[in-house]
Amino acid sequence: MLDPSRSHDGSGGSERAPPELSSLEIVAVVRHDEEGEALARELRRTRARVHHLWPLPPRLPEDVDVIFCELVPQLPQCLPWVPGQPTAALVAVMAALQAPDLKLLRNCAPHGVLHRPFTANTVLTSLALARAQFLYERRLRSRIDKLDETLRAFRCVERAKTILMQTRQFDEDEAYHFIRRRAMSRRISISAVAAAIVDSNDVLG
Amino acid sequence: MRWSCGSATEPWRVGVLFSRSGVMAVIEETQLRATLLAIDEINEAGGVNGRQVVPVVYDPGSETVAFALCAKRLMIEDGITTIFGCYTSSSRKAVLPVVERLNGLLWYPTLYEGFEFSPNVIYTGAAPNQNSVVLCSYLVETYGSRFYFVGSDYVYPRESNRVMRDLLRSQGGEVVGETYLDLRANRTDFLPVMRQIKRAGADVIFSTVVGYSTVYLYQAYAEAGFNPKVMPIASLTTTESEVRAMGFDVAEGQITAAPYFQSLANECNASFVNRYKRRHGEDEPTNMCAEAAYFQVHMFANALAQTNSMETDVIKPAVLGSDFNAPQGPVSVSATTSHTNLWSRIGRANRRGQFEIVRQSSAPVWADPYLVGRGRVSLSA
Cβ contact, residue pair B76, A83, below 8 Å: yes
Which residues of chain B neighbour A103 with C-beta distances below 8 Å?
A: 79
CA distance B244 to chain A (A): 35
Instruction: Let me know the angle formed at the C-alpha of B255 by B253 and B260, rounded to the nearest 5 degrees.
Output: 120
Q: ipTM of this model?
A: 0.77
Whole-number Å distance between alpha carbons of A128 and A111: 10
Identity of the residue in B100, B159, B166 whose CB atom sits nearest the CB atom of A159: B166
- Given a cut of 50, whether residue B300 has pLDDT beyond it is yes
Mean of the per-residue pLDDT values for chain B?
A: 93
Which residues of chain B neighbour A205 with C-beta distances below 8 Å?
A: 174
Q: Which domains does chain A have, with CATH numbers?
A: 14-141 (3.40.50.2300), 142-204 (1.10.10.10)
Higher pLDDT, residue B299 or A20: B299
- The per-residue pLDDT for range B114-169, each reduced to its tens digit, is 989 999 999 999 999 999 999 999 999 999 999 999 999 988 898 889 889 988 98
Residue B288 identity (one-letter amino acid): M
**Probe site for chain B from A59, A152, A191 (most B CB atoms < 10 A):** A152
Whole-number Å distance between alpha carbons of B309 and B306: 8
Residue B321 identity (one-letter amino acid): G
Q: Are B249 and B229 in contact (CB under 8 A)?
A: no
CA distance B90 to chain A (A): 15
- Enumerate residues 109 to 148 of chain B having a beta carbon within 8 A of any beta carbon in chain A: 115-116
Identity of the residue in B98, B162, B371 whose CB atom sits nearest the CB atom of A82: B98
- The per-residue pLDDT for range A102-159, each reduced to its tens digit, is 999 999 999 999 999 999 999 999 999 999 999 999 999 999 988 888 887 787 888 8
Strands annotated E in chain A? 25-29, 49-53, 66-70, 89-94, 112-115
What is the average per-residue pLDDT within A91-97? Answer: 92
B175: three-class secondary structure by DSSP: strand
Cβ contact, residue pair B165, A198, below 8 Å: yes
Residue A37 identity (one-letter amino acid): E
Q: Which fold has domain B2-126+264-341?
A: Rossmann fold (3.40.50)
DSSP type of residue B112: -
Q: Are A86 and A112 in contact (CB under 8 A)?
A: no
Instruction: Let me know the angle formed at the C-alpha of B229 by B225 and B231, rounded to the nearest 5 degrees.
Output: 65
Task: State residue B6's pLDDT score.
Answer: 52
Sign of the CA dihedral with A7 first, then A9, A10, and A12 last: negative
On whether any CB of chain A is under 8 Å from the CB of B200, the answer is no
Q: Are B183 and B210 in contact (CB under 8 A)?
A: yes
* A114: CB partners within 8 A, 6+ apart: A39, A68, A91, A92, A93, A94, A122, A123, A126
CA distance B256 to chain A (A): 25
Which residues of chain A neighbour B100 with C-beta distances below 8 Å?
A: 84
Give yes or no on whether B2-126+264-341 and B128-260+344-380 have one common fold.
Answer: yes
Nearest to B123 by CA among B350, B373, B360, B339: B339
Task: State residue A101's pLDDT score.
Answer: 93
Domain regions of chain B by residue span: 2-126+264-341, 128-260+344-380
B109, HSE (Cβ side, Cα atoms, 13 Å):
31
On whether any CB of chain A is under 8 Å from the CB of B48, the answer is no
Which residues of chain A neighbour B169 with C-beta distances below 8 Å?
A: 159, 198, 202
Which residues of chain B neighbour A79 with C-beta distances below 8 Å?
A: none
- Enumerate residues 87 to 116 of chain A having a beta carbon within 8 A of any beta carbon in chain B: 103, 106-107, 109
- The per-residue pLDDT for range B350-379, each reduced to its tens digit, is 999 999 999 999 999 999 998 877 544 444
Rounded to two decimals, the pTM is: 0.87
CA distance B292 to chain A (A): 26
Number of other residues whose CB lies within 10 A of the CB of residue A78: 16
Pairing of strands B355-361, B345-349: antiparallel
Cβ contact, residue pair A198, B101, below 8 Å: no
Mean of the per-residue pLDDT values for chain A?
A: 87
Nearest to B325 by CA among B299, B345, B304, B355: B299
Q: Are B108 and B124 in contact (CB under 8 A)?
A: yes
CA distance A172 to chain B (A): 19
* B123: CB partners within 8 A, 6+ apart: B108, B112, B116, B337, B338, B339, B340, B367, B369
Nearest to B379 by CA among B142, B47, B219: B142
Whole-number Å distance between alpha carbons of B327 and B319: 19
Q: Are A156 and B162 in contact (CB under 8 A)?
A: yes
Cβ contact, residue pair A109, B102, below 8 Å: yes
On whether any CB of chain B is under 8 Å from the CB of A7, the answer is no
Whole-number Å distance between alpha carbons of B124 and B105: 13
- Given a cut of 80, whether residue A19 has pLDDT beyond it is no
Q: Which CATH class is domain B128-260+344-380?
A: alpha beta
Name the residue in chain A with its Cα closest to that of B116: A148
